[in-house]
Amino acid sequence: MHPTTIVHIDIDYFYAQVEEILNPQLKNVPVGIQQKNCLVTCNYKAREYGITKLANLQKAQALCPDLVLVNGEDLTKYKKMSDEIFNVLQTFTQNVEKLGMDENYLDVSELVNARQNEDCKEIETGTFKLDLDGEGEECDCGCSERLKIGTKIAKELRQALFDRLGITSCAGIAHNKLLAKLVGAQNKPNKQTVIFPHQSTSFLSSQGPVRSLCGIGSKTAEILDSIGVNSVLDLQNIEISVLKKKFDDKTAERLKELSLGIDKSKVKPTGKPKSISIEDSTFQNPLKTILEIETKFNVLLTRLVDAAIFDKKRIPTSLRVTIRKTADIKEILQRESKQKDIPQSWSKIEDSVSIVALLHPIAMQLFKQIMKTDKSEFTITLVGVAFTKFIDENPVVKENSLKSESNSDVTPISKESDKSLADDKNQEECVKEPAMKKIKIDHDPSSSSTPSSSPSLNEVESKVQEKSKPLLIPDFTIPSDLDTKTFNGLSKREKKRIMIELQDAHKIVFIKERFRVTDEKQNELNVMTESQYS
């Protein structure tokens, strides 16, 4: 029996498409999204030149001299679009599970059952159906008819996203999450594909490496490789008794089921995030004075308030501050945090500048508690702020918030999703390259924001880059003294962030050794740096 109908929605080239929606002038031109010194993704126009995700910046511009680079380090706009996508999908069903910013699972079984009386002998027009050899016999439980209705619902979901948000997406339709995700990737962009249960084994046998199966990470793949299992087909053919010699019974059975297209995991509706956080790594230019810390908190708190305004039905009642007070690469994983309840009266303040003025002294108090000293100088390489302990209410906060130019990440921290086989996939390394000239993109020239007395990070960064000349940096390797056990236990997002920080630190050390410069001359170097506030 295959009673469920699952739709997997994957937004096409998410970051770059959001930029195209915000600035239509970017449509039909090659666009790359840059974070730090990595080209994290690009649109399909750029891919026509051979540019790929996590591409080398210098190589990408060599392939496409007209590539437009947009700074994507500020995730606010992407998070907002992700939330809007989620909200649109929830108008169809509450059974929506988010996967990052650009993917969602939907269990549409109830919608399908409610439409069983529809005459649906064929799949929805425009839906791709797999054509495989050795498919097996078609199931007689009625799942084929349900999946055909599912293709119609998938088309309606994608059409709703386009009509309301202007965003295109791909969809996979299947009777479980594993197959829905895998089959949805078969035809891109702006397409949908369906797979029927009797096709699953044949389809999976052609998927190649075992890592292509959702839930199998690097550690599991290494163990499988040690017993000669490299592909999904190998996993299908191996006796489960052999697997049980390397894994516990439950894991061995789970692996075997995945290879055959059996996935019993349910769509778990995503709830509201427990916290909203923003942080900036200052590893390249550590903060060393109270004035720099005060300025950094002003920037981060402004961004945090802007992010919180997206969720008008809940009020955070606590503020958390996170600090890393070392520039030693061996201790890059070390952070300290403290939090304090905040007055709920902030929700009745009508402008974000006043809200920041209320929160700023609390952040400074928490900072001093973490530092446990009244010293006026220190070395701070990471600063983070977060709202926590949300309560349900409708704060009267207007959306005329101060827009900051800081380069920092907005990260909703939600409940941990189940880890199928416990090990994360390895993050691809971003190769450090010389700072490249950027094309400044103004999303809304008519919009205004409260001017700041300090230069924005983007302004300072642009000035540094204008003076830059290419400088080749030796290949980066992970420090041998890094605590790999702690590192491997981190989330994929945190691993990526730390890898970028380590590479930045490597670049700084190389330049200082080569030119024998002091910290005071740091901003004169041709590297991408953050602003020094003074």
Task: Give me the active site residues, please.
Answer: 103
Three-state DSSP state, 430: coil
Rounded to whole angstroms, the Cα distance separating 177 from 447 reads 42
513, with CB counted inside 10 A (0-12, 13-18, 19+), is exposed
What are the distances in angstroms from CA 259 to CA 177, 234, 452? 14, 9, 56
Provide the residue type at 456 as one letter.
S
First to last CA, the chain: 67
DSSP state of 172: E
In three-state form (DSSP H/G/I as H, E/B as E, the rest C), the secondary structure along 71-130 is: ECCCCHHHHHHHHHHHHHHHCCCCCEEEECCCEEEEECHHHHHHCCCCCCCCCCCCEEEC
- In angstroms, rounded to a whole number, what is the distance separating the alpha carbons of residues 336 and 367? 10
CA–CA gap between residue 136 and residue 127 (Å, rounded): 21
* DSSP β-ladder status, 192-194 and 127-129: parallel
Provide the CB-side half-sphere exposure for 135 (13 A, CA). 12
**What angle, rounded to 10 degrees, do the helices at 290-308 and 352-371 form?**
130
Q: Tokens 């619902």, residue?
A: 153
